Amino acid sequence: MAFFASDNKQPNGKETTGGAATIIAVNTKFKGEIHTDCHFHTDGEFEGVIHSKNTVMVGKTGMITGDVYAQKVIVSGKITGNVEAKAIEILANGRLEGTITSDELVIEKKGMFLGQSKSNSKEVKLLSDSQKPQSSIELKK
């Protein structure tokens, strides 16, 4: 595991913003819980819970088993578990299995999502019959 400055790149080649990143390298296994304000990127295996106030990225060789809570989650590898984020992107060949809660979900061609999706946005309450308007309009032919 390492800490790097803001010259980190996302799986899609774009540069990240917002400072340092926590990185788990290929052939590295980590088990536990992480709380971080910075970006989190794994090309190795992580089992546990991740709380990030920034972006969590799973590289092509990366695997996360557990729960992820972040502003944004980008998946090129595999996540198995619950994911809560404002935005979730499953890139080509990325795989997410589990329950997701998000305002925005993007799945690229060849990306895969298996599970249940919930919206973060407020639920729309339906009116009961007694609350519905009583007026009606008759249409003439």
Residue 42 lies in a domain: yes
Residue 136 lies in a domain: no
Gap between the Cα atoms of 123 and 50, Å rounded: 26
- As for how many domains the chain has, the answer is 1
- Check: pTM over 0.85? Answer yes or no: no
Predicted pLDDT of residue 79? 99
Question: By C-alpha distance, which of 11, 25, 26 is closest to 89?
Answer: 11
Residue 95 lies in a domain: yes
Range of the domain at 29: 2-131
Predicted pLDDT of residue 124? 47
Judged by DSSP in three states, 7 sits in coil
Residue 115 lies in a domain: yes
Predicted pLDDT of residue 9? 52
Residue 101 lies in a domain: yes
Per-residue pLDDT of the chain in tens (141 residues, 90 and over written 9): 454 444 445 555 555 455 688 999 999 999 999 999 999 999 999 999 999 999 999 999 999 999 999 999 999 999 999 999 999 999 999 999 999 999 999 999 999 999 999 887 655 455 556 655 555 556 666
Predicted pLDDT of residue 129? 60
Residue 137 lies in a domain: no
Residue 48 lies in a domain: yes
- Spell out the SS3 assignment of 50-99: EEECCEEEECCCCEEEEEEEEEEEEECCEEECCEEEEEEEECCCCEEEEE
